[in-house]
Structure 1
Amino acid sequence: MSNLDSWRTMTAAQQPDWPDRSELEKVVAELGGLPPLVFAGECDQLKDQLAAVVRGEAFVLQGGDCAETFAGATADNVRNKLKTLLQMAIVLTYAAKVPVVKIGRVAGQFAKPRSKGTEVRAGVELPAYRGDMVNGFEFTAESRRPDPWRLLRAYHSSAVTLNLARAFTKGGYADLRQVHAWNQDFVAESPAGRRYEQLAREIDQALAFMHACGADPEEFHTVEFYSSHEALILDYDRALTRVDSRTGLPYDVSAHMVWIGERTRQLDGAHVEFFSRIRNPIGVKLGPTTTPEEALALIDKLNPDNEAGRLTFITRMGASKIREHLPTLVEKVTASGAKVAWICDPMHGNTWETPSGHKTRRLDDVLDEVAGFFEVHRALGTHPGGIHIEFTGDDVTECVGGGQEIVEGDLALRYETACDPRLNRSQSLDLAFRVAELYRSA
């Protein structure tokens, strides 16, 4: 058994109960022969940019759907998500005066961990929905049956999404001269949209000045955009791991960056073991129960060479806990000399359920957790390296609050997520402006 398969001897949490292992083996074999979705050199390029984050020279904006769906791999959906990320990045770059590393939760975020293995409705118990990569959202026995052939469909949906993202980012849509075009829809009349439009006018003036001076750098016309997902279903990510011809080292070519979730970061577990073998930049989600000893052990296992850009800690504490639990983690890790990037996930610790049964989040709680994240790093003299959020480019009503306020009674109007509630684009811009303010004052 090769080092890449050492994880198979360990406990793998949150894996589907595939009804037919022989079918899974057929799918894995087919995946193993398909072309890479990304290239090892691109992963190394992202690692270099994340190393700048570790040094305090850049900021990460990572976001996208909670759970992608196969039906969502359309030009409109990909463009709208990219539009949201571009607008947020413009706000952070221009208002906070910081280079922004743009990473999407796209082209692979098709699987979700669940707190319970089954779901009960009207006395009927069925397997929980674990994302389109595993089973269907419809509450029927046939739909909820884990189907390994969905892994293959996840690959092809990821390929379509990446092709679209590359076309948009390299084909002119990401040109800075498009800043006004990104705002011509429901967001334009929101408070955040109007504030963004003022910023866009200032960018126009700056571009006109630079053009008059004869400057027109390539960076104004395209953006570097990277893909990421939680590498939850290990059979999928192992099947898409290739040995790089340049270096002889293994990379998970399903995405540029992959991360380990809060529920699968066991030190003696299969996910940590698998991640220790691949050379991508990787992340680990850390919740409020994480001890400094666990964080340091994860560093020893996942980044033994202390390579800047290799390891990112994505904290998901909750607004009420971040100021209490984050300082000791950051302090102990920093004292160890470990080179890690710190990113704040202000979404997952702030979810609650309304009496109507809708899972939601308050934008005020999201903003408060981000503020706490900056406060902790400011007090310790460390770098608040980025944010990791769940958003959509659509006019959904899934999270409450925002300048164009959504209240609990509005949630049913356009509640469209396949799993957890997402910020809509207006709320995402509210967040981007707040983060820019916090960064300037940090």
Structure 2
Amino acid sequence: MVRRLSRAMLAVTLASSALTAAATGLIAYHLLLEGEDRRLRDAAVDLVEEVAGMTDAEAGAAAQSEQQELAAFGIHIALFSGERRLGGAPGIPVASGCGWSPLPAESGVRSCGVMAHGRLAVARENLESIPLLRLSLPLAALLAAGCAALLSLGVSRRVARWAARPLTELSAELSRIEPGGPLPAPLHAPARYSEVNAVRAALVDLLTRLQEALDQSRRFAANAAHELRTPLTTLRAELELQAELSQPPDTAQALERMHRTVVSLGVLVERLLVLADGTRGALELLEPVSLSGIVEEALRSLPEGEQRRVDFEAGTPGVIPGDGHLLRQLVDNVVENALKFSNGGRVHVSLQQTPDATRLEVRDEGPGIAREDSMRVFEPFYRTPSARAGKQGHGIGLSLVALVARAHRAHAEFLPSTEGAHLRLSFPRDGHSPAAPPGAGC
């Protein structure tokens, strides 16, 4: 906005200064020309009044004497009776009124003729500087515009910042709003300017309605958590009760695996419901978690046939602060997605450490993802046309990946790839925050 205001001020300054210089020069030109015409008319009037009542011979002699006096001032004058010159400077044609000489060789000569008492006096003067002044008007306008532009460049940005300060202050107040917290007091106070106050009022109304919607979402999440928690708790109790009874070894192992799954599912439900409430921000990530260990655990849980299709290269343990249950869900989803869309091909998983991030990358040998779909696949329930045509699913796996990534202050992105899809998850190291590419929303 400051740049646009600066450019607008510069354009207005250039235009106004050029118009002002042109108008001033034009007025000065006409005033100067009018003053010179007045001198010539006065000289002509003086001559015809002086020779009033004289004979032609006496008038011619008076005109000759007047010419000698005016020559010192650069004015030449002649007296006529009809078309006959009675006296004065030779070579002056008969002319009535004031105007420029029509002869090309006399383009700067100005003459004024005055008729009185039956005689015509014509005074003329070489005014070459006045036509030059008219030609110099465009140059003067350009010089004035250039000086104005230099001045505008020095002050326009400061003036623009001053003009945009009310919006800057409003932006600062908006940036201090905490997720789920009340609106800051200055937002409720009317702004000093009516235009900014209209924006402020609209924003306050919008934020108030959003807060009400988020409160309703929080209540729904709390009720959903209660409804989900009850059956999971019952199922967990039933499994624990069955585990206490004498069971065949295979049944006991199956019950133990089911119990671990139910416990993990219960914890996961609690975490996901907290994440679904966007007003609470990111989780408190205090527990050190090894991404390498999570990936290995996720791969071991795959069916044997799918395990053989996955290559895992761990260049680092990938210890980060995070939530192990959510990260396990993230890894399960990205690996399952890669296996599903690799068309029976191999899946390559790698874990690498860079100076500012820990990168988990998953590549498959499938058809890949079109560039226009590379960001939309992270939206809930969105499925590409090829996925809808040939694969079962609900379109929530990658949206959950994006959700868990955001909770860990990371981002997910599909990189351009000549073969298959290439998913990169970047988890920032302490004190770093890997910059998301333009348009990345995960």
When the two structures are superposed, what TM-score results if normalisation uses the length of structure 2? 0.21
Q: Answer with 1 or 2: which has the greater Rg.
A: 2
Q: Give the number of the structure whose residues are more often helix, by fraction.
A: 2
User: Which structure ranks higher in relative contact order (CA pairs < 8 Å, sequence separation ≥ 6)?
Assistant: 1
